[in-house]
A = this chain, B = another copy of it.
Amino acid sequence: MATHGGLLRIQTKGHGEIVDITEGVRAILRSSEIQLGVVTVFGTGSTVAVTTMEYEPGGVADLREVLDRLVPVRRDDGTADYEHNRLNRDTNAYAHLRAALIGPSESIPIANGELLLGTWQQIVLLDFDDRPRTRVVSVHVVS
């Protein structure tokens, strides 16, 4: 079979928590025994996103800060709430917006059974929802 499918279950605190999921992706890759291919990492749900970054405390704090500034928790004109919140009596419109802008998936090439990441490049899950969640990340290896 040319595709190996796996799942990660990740407990998060929400509120913009950024979780390094590289080792989880690597474990699924190893169990696939695929040497050459592509792994697709996909965050399930409309308030999470997946990207890569150097996972260290400074960069994590900066990324949270820049998203708070670009897509604030409350509309920054102060005159009205987001439409998502208003129409659905909800509170997490900003989480939906951040997730849509960053996107749910990244695909990473594999050679010699290893992810072709940079030395200081990790795969991260960003959970923007405004409460703790158990998140599911699909990790499929195609060869």
Contact = CB atoms under 8 A, between A and B. Distances in A.
Interface of A: 1-3, 5, 36-38, 40, 42, 44-46, 51-54, 56-59, 61-63, 65-66, 70-71, 82-88, 93, 96-97, 99-111, 116-118, 120-121, 124, 138-140, 142-143
Contact of A37 (B109, B124, B142): B142
A101 B102 contact: yes
Nearest to A123: B104
Contacts of A97: 59, 62-63, 66
A123 to B, nearest CB: 9
A3 B37 contact: yes
A46 B52 contact: yes
7 contacts: A5-B111, A46-B120, A57-B83, A58-B87, A61-B83, A104-B106, A105-B107
B59 A54 contact: no
